[in-house]
């Protein structure tokens, strides 16, 4: 709520992530489970390969998986429409939360170049996870600069990360490489 009140913020998507284990067709794989809000995947660079995103009509047991999960198990896009067993692995034994063994229906596949991931609606898994969110994705209005919105969010005592950070680091690396090549060129 505090982030949503920051000027320049258009939308905040709250996210929970936690470890899980999926059983399907005799294969078991450890995955990262993300509890996300409707609209989150559409606002990220993840491309939809098959099926659909969550909508207001989506059932609480609907799930979206990424391509890396398919590749890990040697599956193809025919898994859309099938059910899999998901076990939520309790990461903090001190909290009083329910055991998480669910049967979820695969409704979509996304390409997002990460480790095996399954996306569920955050409301569907809230009783199996601690109440805190692990991160938030912030979409800002075009009229505002990323830097000024970031400063306001960081003034709330929160850490921020942007894709622009990675781009700037790569550009900085190439600048150092150019200087190194220039020095070798002068010496030659």
Q: Average pLDDT by consecutive 10-residue portion of the chain (188 residues)?
A: 86 87 80 88 83 84 87 80 84 60 89 82 80 83 83 83 66 81 83
In 3D space, the residue among 127, 81, 122 whose CA is nearest the CA of residue 104 turns out to be: 81
Q: What is the DSSP letter of 35?
A: E
Give residue 92's pLDDT: 60
Give residue 19's pLDDT: 84
Rg (alpha carbons) of the chain, rounded to whole number: 20
Element (H, E) at 17: strand 9-24
Give residue 107's pLDDT: 92
All residues at 6 or more sequence positions from 157 whose CB lies less than 8 Å from its CB, including other chains: none
All residues at 6 or more sequence positions from 81 whose CB lies less than 8 Å from its CB, including other chains: 51, 105, 106, 107
**Number of Cβ atoms within 10 Å of the Cβ of 177:** 10
In 3D space, the residue among 18, 64, 62 whose CA is nearest the CA of residue 41 turns out to be: 64
Cβ(33)–Cβ(88) below 8 Å: yes
Cβ(10)–Cβ(139) below 8 Å: yes
Calculate the CA dihedral of residues 41, 47, 52, 56 and round it to 10 degrees.
20
């Amino acid at each position: 709520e505090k982030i949503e009140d920051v000027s320049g913020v258009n939308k905040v998507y709250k996210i929970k992530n936690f470890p899980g284990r999926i059983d399907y067709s005799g294969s078991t794989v450890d995955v990262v489970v993300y509890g996300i809000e409707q609209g989150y995947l559409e606002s990220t660079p993840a491309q939809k390969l098959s099926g659909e995103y969550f909508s207001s009509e989506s059932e609480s047991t609907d799930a979206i998986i990424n391509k890396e999960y398919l590749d890990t198990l040697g599956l193809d896009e025919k898994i859309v429409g099938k059910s899999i067993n998901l076990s939520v692995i309790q990461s903090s034994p001190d909290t009083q939360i329910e055991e998480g063994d669910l049967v979820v229906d695969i409704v979509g596949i996304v390409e997002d170049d990460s480790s095996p991931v399954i996306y569920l609606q955050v409301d569907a898994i809230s009783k199996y996870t601690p109440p805190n969110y692990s991160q938030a994705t912030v979409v800002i209005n075009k009229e505002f600069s990323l830097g000024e919105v970031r400063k306001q969010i960081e003034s709330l005592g929160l850490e921020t990360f942007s894709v622009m950070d990675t781009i700037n680091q790569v550009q900085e690396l190439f600048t150092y490489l150019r200087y190194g090549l220039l020095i070798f060129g002068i010496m030659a």
